[in-house]
Amino acid sequence: MVKNTCVILLLLLATFSFAASEYDKDIVVKDQTRNDKVTEVFRAMMNAYEEEDIRLFFSYVSEDRFEQDYMTFYDAIDQDIRVYDILSVDTWVDKITEDGYKRFLYVQWTKRYLATTSDREINQRGYSRFLFDEVNGKYKLIELAGNNFWGKSLREWTEEVPQIAGQEPENTVSGGGALPDLTVTIPAGGGISDVAFNINNTGTATAIAPIYYKIEYCGGTIEKPYEENILPGDSTTYPIIEPLPVCNFGGQTVTILVDSTKEINELDEYNNDVSKVVE
């Protein structure tokens, strides 16, 4: 009797356990499908971005449900395409978390690109979060957070992107509107064979190194990184001195452009250069 009862109990237990595992399996399969859908949409968006197909890209964004400013995001993607030549992008989905039908996609990424104003190749890495929701049966992007994988070139947009834990340090401090603002000043004096200048940060956030500067002089260019962070209100510790070729006797016009790689989001993007005749 006891033996039979034990067998029945074991069978019941086994039945419940199998039933439970089948149920779990069902849920897992459903969730997996949703996660796959979201990952697929994200890959399609990435390809559209790499191919610079702005219309296709925005077909995966929900204008009605977008939680940030849709028009600013459109401007930012448009600006990215003008300012950067994307060479390659690699992404790795770190995790997908859910909130009802919504899916938060956490992605690690690297991006290799050229700024059209620069001769240097930039390698950038980041960690971002993309929020997708089901709209009319299809998953669409409704929010971005973390490092600016898309739209980095437009300050108005980066101000709207919240920070997340684990992201790489960036020149954008979210929320408070704090940003660096880089300017160049050439102190009085200087010789015929070199140019001395200071890079200043008159903004409200730290400018994070490397800060590229580009010097255009009689036919040639020099582009180099300044490797120290510059605090708000601060300047380069010592003037940067670059020797220049002597190519005239009556003075040459030298133009210095700071943030030549367009890597740093600033309060004012149009005060980065200065020209001077070096006597």
Partner 1 sequence: MKKLLLISALVACSLFGAEQVDGWQVSGRLSAYIESVDVDGGRTSSSEREKTTHNEELNLNFRGPLGKGEAGLESRMRTTNSDSIQAHGAELLYMKAYYRDKIWTVEAGDVAASLNPYIFSGSVKGAKAVYKSDEKDHTWNYTVITGAQTASWRDLLEDGGDDNPTTFTGGFEAKYIHERSKEIALSFAALDVASDINATAKNGYGLGIDGKWRFNKYVTLKGRAAFTDGKEDSNSSSSTAVYLKLLTRPVLKSVKSDFVYQRVDSDFVSFGGSANDDKEQIENSTTWTINKELRARMDLKYSRNNLDGTVTNGTQNIYYEAVSLTYNPSFLERGDFNFRLTNKDIDDDVTDSNRLTAGVDFNLRQKSGWRYGAGYDYSDQDDNNASSTRTHTIKGLLGYKQNLGKDSSYRFTVRPNYQLIENSQDKIGFKIDAGYVHNKRLSADIMYMINDTDYDSSSTSNNTQNATYQFRSTYKLDTKGRNILRLLLEKRDVHVDDTADSTYNEYRGKVSLVMNF
**Which residues of the shown chain bind partner 1 in the complex (CB under 8 A)?**
51-53, 55, 63, 69-72, 75, 78, 82, 85, 87-88, 90, 92, 110, 112, 114, 119, 121, 123, 173-178, 193, 202-206, 215, 218-222, 227-229, 231-233, 242-250, 252
- Report in angstroms how near the CB of residue 249 gets to partner 1 at its nearest: 5
Query: Closer CB to partner 1, residue 3 or residue 55?
Result: 55
Query: Closer CB to partner 1, residue 33 or residue 175?
Result: 175
- Report in angstroms how near the CB of residue 41 gets to partner 1 at its nearest: 20
- Report in angstroms how near the CB of residue 42 gets to partner 1 at its nearest: 17
Query: Closer CB to partner 1, residue 2 or residue 165?
Result: 165
**3-class SS of residue 226:** strand
- Report in angstroms how near the CB of residue 245 gets to partner 1 at its nearest: 4
Cα(52)–Cα(54) distance, integer angstroms: 6
**3-class SS of residue 77:** helix
Cα(184)–Cα(236) distance, integer angstroms: 10
Q: What residues form DSSP beta bridges with 208?
A: none
Cα(114)–Cα(85) distance, integer angstroms: 5
DSSP secondary structure letter of residue 173: B
N- to C-terminal Cα separation, the chain: 110
Structure tokens at 95: 């995790």
Structure tokens at 262: 């367009």
Query: Closer CB to partner 1, residue 44 or residue 222?
Result: 222
Query: Closer CB to partner 1, residue 105 or residue 207?
Result: 207
Within 13 Å and on the Cβ side, how many CA atoms surround 237? Answer: 4
**3-class SS of residue 80:** helix
- Report in angstroms how near the CB of residue 187 gets to partner 1 at its nearest: 18
